[in-house]
Each structure stands twice: as C-alpha cells, then as structure tokens.
C-alpha cells in the first residue's frame, strides 16, 4: 500500500485563489520531503526541499512567495499555490525520505491542479 | 546539462518481447541509482535501487544493472506485458546531501 499520501488527487480552482496540497508519510517519520512539478511528457522538476521545523529550500527560479511550503510535523508537508494562474496548472508530486529504510524515497500519487 | 541522460526517449515493443533502457550519469560523488516506473498521471513507483557495490538487481521481470566505473545503468524488461506501458525514470542520488538528479525518462509502449 501507499506509504506517502497526497491530497487532493485532483483540484480545480479559479484564477486568483489559493489551493493547498497535502503530503503525508503514513508509516514513517520524514524529516525531509520534496515537492516536484511535472509537465506532460516531461520529467519531474524539483521545486523545493521541505525540512521539518525549518524553512524550505527552494530551487532556482521557484517563487517562494507563490509556492508556500510548510513542514509542521514529521509526517506532513503542505504546498500552497497562492494567487493561482492558469500557467500554474500542472501535476504536483511530493516525495519523502525514509531514513530508517536506507534513505528510500517514496513518492506520493501526485495532485493534478487545474486553474481556470 | 542534465546529469542523468536516458535513452531511448521512447520505444514501442510487442507484448512478450524484451527491451533494455539505458541511463548514463555524471552525478558525483555517487550514492545510489534508482529506477522508477511512472504510469500516466500517477506518482513514480520504485523498481530497484542500487548502491556503488551492486552490479545487478532484479524485481520480477525487471532487471537493473549498474557499472559505477563507466557510470552507466540499464533496465531490462523481460517478456513485456501491456501493463508495462509507462515512463521509466532513472534517478541518481548524490552522496552527502542525497540530492536527486532525474533523467527525462523513457516512455515504453507495449502493444498486443
């Protein structure tokens, strides 16, 4: 079964609104989670590294004020897309690292965001 | 330039046939290499993970090889099934900070 759960799996929102995506590690504690964006037929692009109890580390070119990341507990990280625009429509995926399993990386099922 | 290059970009094979996907990387220092299967619209699922000392690892009909000297890996799919149709992604982890580098993936289409 899934060890990393993402919610919602699909969401449609209006331009200008904000939407939150949750990423939970189900069977382990994840001090580090990762957020990716994937466009159709392209590879995953790392957006940011989420560290429990501290600020996220964003990749170059990713607006931290637009993509707010919060890692408030060892099992939950959230990505909030603020003031969403149609160009933010994409597939967002999170992953979590299980230090107890040799740094195995588990991916969530992904969240489809459509901004209309 | 991407530190992980995969080839071919896509391939089509007939059900029951075998195929091999390639992954070349320049990530250094090397920690481990993973192969993932990603169905369209789903999150990647791990197939294999290999460290420096491992040359081959199997997971059912999937067999991955690693040559850490030449920095090459391959994923061999045996007796392909329609359900093998997916994108296969090679991911290399850097030692120390465990930063992941992703290949662009190989899209495999299995036809009856």
Assess whether pLDDT exceeds 80 at residue B27: yes
Cβ distance A91 to B32 less than 8 Å, yes or no, reads: no
In the predicted model, is pLDDT for residue B64 greater than 70? yes
Q: Cβ B46–A41 below 8 Å, yes or no? A: no
Q: Residue B37's beta-bridge partner residues?
A: B45, B88
Q: Which of A6, A43, A110 is facing B105, going by the closest CB pair?
A: A43
pLDDT band with cut points at 50, 70 and 90 for residue A93: very high
Q: What average pLDDT does range A70-98 have in this prediction?
A: 93
Mean pLDDT of A33-38: 94
Q: Give the nearest chain B residue to A2 (CA atoms).
A: B45
**What is the predicted pLDDT for the residue at A102?**
67
User: Measured between alpha carbons, how far is residue B25 from residues A1, A41, A60, A95, B40 in Å?
Assistant: 31, 21, 22, 22, 25
| Mean pLDDT of the B57-68 span | 96
Q: How many Å is the maximal CA-CA distance in chain A?
A: 42
Percent with pLDDT over 90 in chain B = 81
List, in order, residues 6 or more apart from A48 with CB less than 8 Å away: A34, A35, A56, A57, A58, A59, A62, A64, A67, A69
Pair of tokens at residue A18: 């904000």
A2-6, A85-89, A100-104, B21-25: which range is least confident on average?
A100-104
Percent of chain A whose pLDDT exceeds 90: 69
- Judge whether A46 is closer than 8 Å to chain B, CB to CB: yes
Nearest chain A residue (CA) to B105: A43
What pLDDT shows up at residue A24?
95
Spatial distance between the Cα atoms of B46 and B37, rounded to a whole number of angstroms:
6
């Amino acid at each position: 079964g899934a060890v990393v759960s993402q919610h919602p799996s699909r969401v449609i929102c209006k331009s200008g609104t904000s939407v939150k995506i949750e990423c939970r590690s189900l069977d382990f504690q994840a001090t580090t989670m990762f957020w990716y964006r994937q466009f159709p037929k392209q590879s995953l692009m790392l957006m940011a590294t989420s560290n429990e109890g501290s600020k996220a580390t964003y990749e170059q070119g990713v607006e931290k004020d637009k993509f707010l990341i919060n890692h408030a507990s060892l099992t939950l990280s959230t990505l909030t897309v603020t003031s969403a625009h149609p160009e933010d429509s994409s597939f967002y995926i999170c992953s979590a690292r299980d230090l107890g399993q040799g740094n195995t990386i588990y991916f969530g099922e992904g969240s489809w965001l459509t901004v209309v | 330039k991407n530190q992980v290059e995969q080839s071919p970009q896509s391939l089509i094979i007939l059900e029951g046939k075998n195929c091999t996907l390639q992954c070349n990387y320049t990530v250094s220092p090397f920690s481990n290499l993973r192969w993932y299967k990603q169905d369209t619209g789903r999150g990647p699922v791990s197939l294999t993970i290999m460290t420096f000392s491992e040359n081959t690892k199997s997971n059912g009909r999937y067999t991955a090889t690693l040559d850490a000297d030449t920095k090459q890996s391959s994923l061999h799919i045996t007796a392909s099934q329609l359900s093998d149709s997916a994108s296969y992604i090679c991911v290399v982890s850097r030692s120390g900070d465990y930063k992941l580098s992703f290949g662009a993936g190989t899209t495999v289409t299995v036809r009856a």
